[in-house]
Structure 1
Amino acid sequence: MHHVALICSDYARARHFYTEVLALPVIAETWRAERQSWKLDLGLPDGSQIELFSFPAPPARVSRPEACGLRHLAFTVDNLDAVIVHLAAHGIACEPVRVDPLTGCRFTFCVDPDDLPIEWVERMPRSS
């Protein structure tokens, strides 16, 4: 995967969430005057990216119940409990931790400032 593109309703709030709370590094930030839109390119550890866009008055995201389109973002982490503590320190609540019956991995969800679900999946320890 090269990137995932997200449109936010409040650029400053979304930028803070992705760059400060999630600590994703900024690759580039561009003001596109002709579109009255910001484009923020954020790096992910595997080299892929998140493109964060702002547009004047975007329609609200259709969410629950499940709708067609992007369902959620999912990030792999080494320590799920540490991620939950970090998010809580920033006022972000997570759902109760569950275990995927197919993979055995622990996971939880929170939401970004526009209510986009973000899943956190704990990497399974490798067997020796």
Structure 2
Amino acid sequence: MLDIQAVHHIAIICSDYGRSKRFYTEVLGCEVIAETHRPGRDSWKLDLAVAGGCQIELFSFPDPPPRPSRPEAQGLRHLAFAVADIERAASALEAAGVAHEPIRLDDLTGRRFFFFRDPDDLPLELYEAAR
């Protein structure tokens, strides 16, 4: 059996590097670990720290094809971030001009959550952590 200890990173390919970099750093508050330009690929790679030890790798490539998706499509469904205060997080997104769904209650866990989208329409979730 594998001895998996944690999720190390999530890789995201964006359509507009500057827009996505601003979203993930300024709106979501991820900290830049490293930023690398790869001239041979005409590509950027931005390593971002997420509280709790996980990382996001944000990639740019020239003219990446869109990924067909719908809420119940096969594959990765969404990326969820834990927050301490769901109302405060919703207000912060609203102040940044980011639309989100209404806050809902998870019937299984009793925790509150809501969904929103990144600049490339990737589904993201904020999930209220246990207090």
TM class by shorter-chain length?
over 0.9
Say which of 30, 35, 38 aligns to 1:29. Answer: 35
Segments of 5+ residues of structure 2 without an aligned counterpart are: 1-6
Q: Is the 8 A contact 1:74 1:120 kept in 2?
A: yes
1:47 alignment partner in structure 2? 53
Q: Are positions 1:123 and 2:129 aligned together?
A: yes
What value does the CA root-mean-square deviation take over the aligned residues? 0.9
- Write out aligned runs for 1:4-15 (5 A): 4-15=10-21
Q: Are positions 1:66 and 2:62 aligned together?
A: no
Q: Is the 8 A contact 1:61 1:114 kept in 2?
A: no
Q: Which amino acid aligns with 2:18?
A: A
Q: Is the 8 A contact 2:118 2:124 kept in 1?
A: yes
Q: Are positions 1:101 and 2:104 aligned together?
A: no
Tell me the CA shift for residue 32 of structure 1: 0.4
What secondary structure, in the 3-state scheme, does the structure 2 residue paired with 1:120 have? strand
Tell me the CA shift for residue 105 of structure 1: 0.4
Percent of pairs identical after alignment? Answer: 60
- Post-superposition Cα deviations, 1:23-45, rounded to whole Å, max 9, x if no partner, equal 11000000001111000000011
Segments of 5+ residues of structure 1 without an aligned counterpart are: none
Q: Are positions 1:89 and 2:90 aligned together?
A: no
Q: Which amino acid aligns with 2:8?
A: H
Q: Is the 8 A contact 2:71 2:77 kept in 1?
A: no
2:3 alignment partner in structure 1? none
| Structure-1 separation of matches of 2:67 and 2:124 | 14
CA gap of 1:70–1:87, structure 2 versus 1, over 3 A, is: same
CA gap of 1:47–1:65, structure 2 versus 1, over 3 A, is: closer
2:119 alignment partner in structure 1? 113
- Post-superposition Cα deviations, 1:70-117, rounded to whole Å, max 9, x if no partner, equal 211100100000010000011101101110110000000110000001
